[in-house]
Amino acid sequence: MATTPDSQNLELSVTDFGPIAKGKIDLRPLTVFVGPSNTGKSYLAILVYAMHKFFSQLFRRPMRRFLVEEHLSDLSEDEITNILSWMQETQSNLEIRREKFFSIELPKSIATIVHSFFLSNIRHSEDDLRNEIVRCFGVDKVEDLVRHSIDKKIRNVQTRLSLCSSLVGTRSKNLFLYNVALNKQKTNKDSSVLNTLPMQVSVDPNILSYFQRLNEIDEEGEQFAKWAVIELLTEFSKAVLSNIVAPLSRPAYYLPADRAGVMHAHQVAVRGLIASASRTALQRDSPMPVLSGVLGDFLEQLVSLTSFSSMHGESQDDSPLALHMEQLLQGTVRVERSQIDYPSFVYRPANWKRDLPLMNASSMVSELAPVVLYLRHMVQPGDLLIIEEPESHLHPAMQVEFIRQLAVAVKSGIRILITTHSEWVLEELANLVRLSELPAERRVGIDDSDVALSPDEVGAWFFERGPKNSGSVVREMPLDVESGTFSSGFGLITEGLYNRWAEISNRIEEE
């Protein structure tokens, strides 16, 4: 059931996860990961992707109704009668309301059941979360993601994942949805903690259909009445979950760092996987090739682009974001279908009458083509698009333009997460944030002055390598107004290079 949650940014914390010793981030409309190589940027990005996959699937499958029945068995007949009376009273009030979303004040008796039911569903789904993380990383078991230290004092590590949210209308500052020890089969009793949940739940008008079924209850309809209560409480529990975890309930799409190579070789890769699978029975000792869930999903989505293009057509007018992005390419990108419905990707430069296979286009076109195709055919407002190293094969000027286009996507409602090593990317992000502080009437003469992001819309996080290989620590990067960028340490590298040049030049002059 779709809802409009009244929640702030989610906070994700990890401990001893892959290269990361400790990290805490806010998931904002535009989230940026920066830091040296091998410090866990991709690890955390894949984890965010896994969380999206888990929660979006959780919303699509039926919640565990038997848990509602367990909680209902603890209620007296009078309490059930009171709940039914409240439901009937609420129905008459809701029929007057016609807005898209509205809030319902839950009585204490119902809130207690909903909260208990909600917690039970969360605790029963922890194994599903672990399985999704294993799939996305392409490992055999979740223990393979534990960061083991050579320090005997901290050898008994416990990789933990925490997800909490601050909700409007609650007394508690933080609502801990998950606090899971990933390398343990069971969570400690106090590990999943939800403090006071909101008494008001934002719901969709479609919930009226459940209330209207109450009219079918007759004097002998006790079993039906119980069913109606179970159905309605299930919907309220989904609403509570949606209010807390949104936007994790929305789909996510991951464009890996090697996306251009995958697009060029996806036909060969798929054929190779099929051939390997067909030979497995003859070569039992040959291991099956294993793909991470991230790469497997990307390949699957590339194949499914043919169905997207056939359903929606290749009109350039249906996606302004894709059209604007193609202006950077100075041409258009399309998906062509073969006779067996397998995709091939082509690029037509501006003012050309013929197409080029994408593999014959420039590396810049190959890098940006997946972004264009995803914006045109897949990604919708509210969804998350994760892009690893968007600056790859882009001239600095093109990096700046590309970041402005991503900002336009964010303003349209699409959430973006990027990993980057580019100083140009950070400097333009700083410009976009700084521009938001300038009134519109004072922006005349500034390029793309209508593209700006507020400080609340951008979160930059630095992955800093710890001493003596103790694991990286993730910290938020503040915007340095004096230097005009986020404090990433890139300036120190520039300074070091200049000092090296000066030393070499001085010695040459001494000669």
- pLDDT number for residue 191: 40
* All residues at 6 or more sequence positions from 15 whose CB lies less than 8 Å from its CB, including other chains: 21, 22, 157, 158, 159, 160
Tokens encoding 114: 């909903």
- Angle 99-102-103 from CA coordinates, rounded to 5°: 165
| Backbone region of residue 261 per phi and psi (left: phi > 0; alpha: psi in -120 to 50; beta: other values) | alpha
**455-467 tens-digit pLDDT:** 999 999 999 988 8
- Residue 449 has φ and ψ, to the nearest 5°, of -70, -15
Compute the Cα dihedral for 23, 418, 179, 456 and give only its sign: positive
Give the separation between CA 93 and CA 32, rounded to whole angstroms.
45
End-to-end CA distance of the chain: 77
Give the separation between CA 412 and CA 409, rounded to whole angstroms.
5
- pLDDT number for residue 220: 47
- Residue 228 has φ and ψ, to the nearest 5°, of -60, -40
Give which of 394, 340, 349 is closest to 371, Cα–Cα: 394
**303-316 tens-digit pLDDT:** 888 665 555 455 44
**165-199 tens-digit pLDDT:** 765 444 444 555 667 677 654 444 444 444 455 56
Question: Which amino acid type is present at position 227?
Answer: W
Tell me: pLDDT of 502 over 90: yes
Give the separation between CA 384 and CA 164, rounded to whole angstroms.
19
Tell me: pLDDT of 293 over 70: yes
**272-286 tens-digit pLDDT:** 655 555 444 444 555
Least-confidence region, from 187-196, 240-249, 255-264: 187-196
Q: Is 499 exposed, middle or buried (0-12, 13-18, 19+ CB in 10 A)?
A: exposed
Give the separation between CA 435 and CA 448, rounded to whole angstroms.
10
Give the separation between CA 172 and CA 427, rounded to whole angstroms.
37
The listed range with the strongest mean pLDDT (193-207, 386-400, 484-498) is 386-400
Query: Judging by DSSP bridges, how do beta strands 30-34 and 458-464 pair with one another?
Result: parallel
Q: Contact at 8 Å (CB) between 187 and 181?
A: yes
Tell me: pLDDT of 389 over 90: yes
* Torsion of Cα atoms, 175 then 180 then 181 then 184, to 10°: 150
Q: Contact at 8 Å (CB) between 80 and 226?
A: yes
Compute the Cα dihedral for 412, 379, 345, 258 and give only its sign: positive
DSSP labels, 29-48: SEEEEE-STTSSHHHHHHHH
- Residue 283 has φ and ψ, to the nearest 5°, of -125, 80
As a three-state string, the secondary structure of 157-225 is CCCEEEEEECECCCCCCCEEEEEEECCCCCCCCCCCCCCCCCCEEEECHHHHHHHHHHHHCCCCCHHHH
Give the separation between CA 35 and CA 260, rounded to whole angstroms.
23
Compute the Cα dihedral for 260, 265, 271, 273 and give only its sign: negative
256-260: list long-range contacts, CB under 8 Å, 24+ apart: 256/294, 256/295, 256/298, 256/388, 257/42, 257/388, 257/389, 257/392, 257/419, 259/298, 259/367, 259/370, 259/388, 260/363, 260/366, 260/367, 260/369, 260/370, 260/392, 260/393
Per-residue pLDDT band at 483 (split at 50, 70, 90)? confident
- pLDDT number for residue 484: 84
Helix (H, G, I), strand (E, B) or coil at 406: helix
- pLDDT number for residue 145: 86
Give the helix/strand (H/E) hosting 326.
Answer: helix 320-329
Tell me: pLDDT of 155 over 70: no
* All residues at 6 or more sequence positions from 511 whose CB lies less than 8 Å from its CB, including other chains: none
Give which of 164, 156, 197 is closest to 16, Cα–Cα: 156
* Torsion of Cα atoms, 80 then 84 then 89 then 94, to 10°: 120
The larger pLDDT score, comparing residue 292 to residue 213, is at 292
Q: Contact at 8 Å (CB) between 365 and 379?
A: no
Compute the Cα dihedral for 21, 27, 33, 38 and give only its sign: positive
- Provide the greatest CA pair distance for the chain: 106
**50-108 tens-digit pLDDT:** 999 988 887 666 555 545 556 566 666 777 777 777 777 776 666 555 555 566 777 77
CA distances from 226 to 62, 213, 233, 257, 485 (A): 18, 12, 11, 52, 60
Per-residue pLDDT band at 25 (split at 50, 70, 90)? very high
- pLDDT number for residue 300: 85
> What mean pLDDT is predicted for residues 497-506?
92
Helix (H, G, I), strand (E, B) or coil at 65: helix
Neighbours of 202 (CB within 10 A): 20
**28-37 tens-digit pLDDT:** 999 999 999 9
- pLDDT number for residue 207: 62
DSSP 246: T
Q: Contact at 8 Å (CB) between 474 and 17?
A: no
Question: Which amino acid type is present at position 119?
Answer: L
Q: Contact at 8 Å (CB) between 211 and 91?
A: yes
Per-residue pLDDT band at 23 (split at 50, 70, 90)? very high
Domains of the chain: which residue ranges? 10-252, 256-379
